[in-house]
Structure 1
Amino acid sequence: MEYRVLAVGDVVGEPGLRHLERHLRPLQKLKNIAFTVVNGENASGVGLTEEQAWRIRDAGADAVTLGNHAFGKTQIAACLDETSWLLRPANLSGRAPGHGCEIFDLGGVRIRVLNLIGRCDLSWGADNPFTAADRNLERGEAELTLVDFHAEATSEKLAMGYYLDGRVSALWGTHTHVPTADERVYPKGTGYITDLGMTGPVESVLGIEPAQSVESFLGGLPGRYRPAAGPCKLQGAVFTLDGSTGRCTGVERIDLR
């Protein structure tokens, strides 16, 4: 049986969250989506609250992944411990609250979702994401495995794609908020894209007011970052997966404005 999985790029601020709430379910219906993963670590700009996590869930997400801002809002800690569908990177310290890998039952097919964070120019204190992937893929059984690799360096993401090719169904990158045009199926059947992009304001710098970002690069004091105003976009990718083999047969970029 064929399953279509939707991965949605980082939701940025209240504008991005409202855009997700308006458009995710119609998009799921249009694309015949069976399972959806949304990266929500920037719903508050830096981190997310429990209320925002539930809003993403209620909007249609089956799993919500995080990244380097997983603990940007410290009140999320209890929710991470208690909520199976809310994942922080699995290779963060074992002392951190929450978990980074979960198996979901989708009407008889098991879907493993694994959240990892990169170390190259991002999270130097995290465990090795490659060996962390090995450990988590040995835990439990699943017909389909999805990986959100929250990383800065394109080289690290590409290397992870080759490392896990044939061992996972789909792997996508998050964090940079800029979509890449390299969607593909790797030689051994893993669907891949280096970065999904973001869900947030179109006229912005990674979701933030352009003037603030420019001021920071000029050496000024831009103040606390504010989400930009105006129309929003929802960016991500749809992976078509074969439930009998666990392999990907196609990848389609999404950019909904």
Structure 2
Amino acid sequence: MTAFADLHHADAPLLLPNAWDHASALALAAQGFPAIGTTSLAVAAAAGLPDGAAATREQTLLLARTLGSAPFLLSVDAEGGFGDDPDEVAELARELYALGAVGINLEDGLGPADRHAAKIAAVRAAAPGLFVNARTDTYWLGDGEGTTSRLDAFLRAGAHGVFVPGLDDPREIAALVRGLDGVPLNVLYSPTGPSVPHLADLGVRRISLGSLLYRRALGAAVEAAVDIRAGRPVAGGRAPSYEEMQMLSRRADGE
């Protein structure tokens, strides 16, 4: 865990892009990103299942199995641990760590804070090598009320860092950073929110891209198909060649 934890205390914040399959993860790593996260929305959408409904445990483990031995540090978005039983969440953490993951993201979904804290404590005991990023949805699903008390409970349970998606007001971010007294704060990047340099100045230590890349990729694919059907030139960025895609697979084979 040390190398991954160290990235949260470097000179610049950890910008964590979130991949959804082998090719997206290896392509991002090839651009120099030392750590890659997964995105639960993409895992669920690819399987035709709802996100945040504890329906994708097996799909998440399959993706971790695919990526765990790749040449980057892997952090897995595990929703709320795919269950309410701390022992079951602990078993998931053990499996992820055995597959090569170095981090796990656990969200509270605004459920009872003590239950989420129990999951965190169980994960710490079962997989001490995993960096536990404890997410609260007070801003994502609510108005921000209760953020501090929830994060305090999660930190007492052993979380290494905290994640507050939906928090994008600079003054509120700065105040939360001050209150955390050195604990790494993770926020979700928003195209309409503060820039990465601004977030760095505010003291944010980890910036996740969440499902943004997946949604952009899906949007670009649909837009290209519609343009082709209409006889228009395909807009957007350069598409990787067939040979470049094959190279990603060869890298996984160690060639």
Q: TM-score, normalised by structure 2?
A: 0.50
1:24 corresponds in structure 2 to 29
Query: What is the SS of the residue equivalent to 1:113?
Result: strand
Distance 1:25 1:207, change over 3 A: closer
Shift of 1:134: 0.7
Give the counterpart of 1:180 among 185, 192, 195. Answer: 195
> What do you get for the CA RMSD once the two structures are aligned?
4.8
- The one-letter amino acid of 2:219's match is E
Q: Are the equivalent residues in 2 in contact too, given 1:10–1:38 (CA < 8 A)?
A: yes
Query: What is the SS of the residue equivalent to 1:21?
Result: helix
Q: TM-score, normalised by structure 1?
A: 0.50
2:182 aligned with 1:168: yes
| Residues paired across the two proteins, number | 186
| Runs of 4+ more than 6 Å apart | none
Aligned equivalents of 1:100, 1:41: Cα separation in 2: 18
Query: What is the SS of the residue equivalent to 1:87?
Result: strand
Shift of 1:41: 1.6
Distance 1:40 1:99, change over 3 A: farther
Query: What is the SS of the residue equivalent to 2:218?
Result: coil
Shift of 1:22: 4.5
- The one-letter amino acid of 2:185's match is L
2:196 aligned with 1:196: no
Give the counterpart of 1:51 among 56, 62, 74. Answer: 62
1:113 corresponds in structure 2 to 132
Query: What is the SS of the residue equivalent to 1:88?
Result: strand
Q: Are the equivalent residues in 2 in contact too, given 1:20–1:199 (CA < 8 A)?
A: no
1:206 corresponds in structure 2 to 216
Q: How does 1:1-257 map to 2 (within 5 A)?
A: 3-5=6-8, 6-11=14-19, 13-14=20-21, 17-24=22-29, 27=32, 36=35, 38-44=37-43, 46=45, 47=51, 49=59, 50-59=61-70, 60-66=72-78, 80-84=89-93, 85-90=103-108, 92-94=110-112, 99-100=119-120, 103=124, 113-120=132-139, 122-124=140-142, 128-140=146-158, 145-149=160-164, 151-155=165-169, 159-165=172-178, 166-174=180-188, 176=190, 180-181=195-196, 182-186=198-202, 190-192=203-205, 195-197=207-209, 205-210=215-220, 230-231=239-240
Distance 1:66 1:9, change over 3 A: farther
Structure having the higher Rg: 2
- The one-letter amino acid of 2:75's match is A
Q: Percent identity?
A: 10
Q: Are the equivalent residues in 1 in contact too, given 2:188–2:209 (CA < 8 A)?
A: yes
Q: Is there any run of 5+ residues in structure 2 with no aligned partner, and where?
A: 9-13, 46-50, 94-102, 224-237, 241-255
- The one-letter amino acid of 2:199's match is E
Q: Are the equivalent residues in 2 in contact too, given 1:39–1:64 (CA < 8 A)?
A: yes
Q: Are the equivalent residues in 1 in contact too, given 2:138–2:144 (CA < 8 A)?
A: yes
Shift of 1:20: 1.0
Distance 1:209 1:37, change over 3 A: closer
Aligned equivalents of 2:69, 2:15: Cα separation in 1: 16
Shift of 1:163: 1.9
Structure number with the bigger relative contact order (C-alpha 8 A, sep ≥ 6) is 1
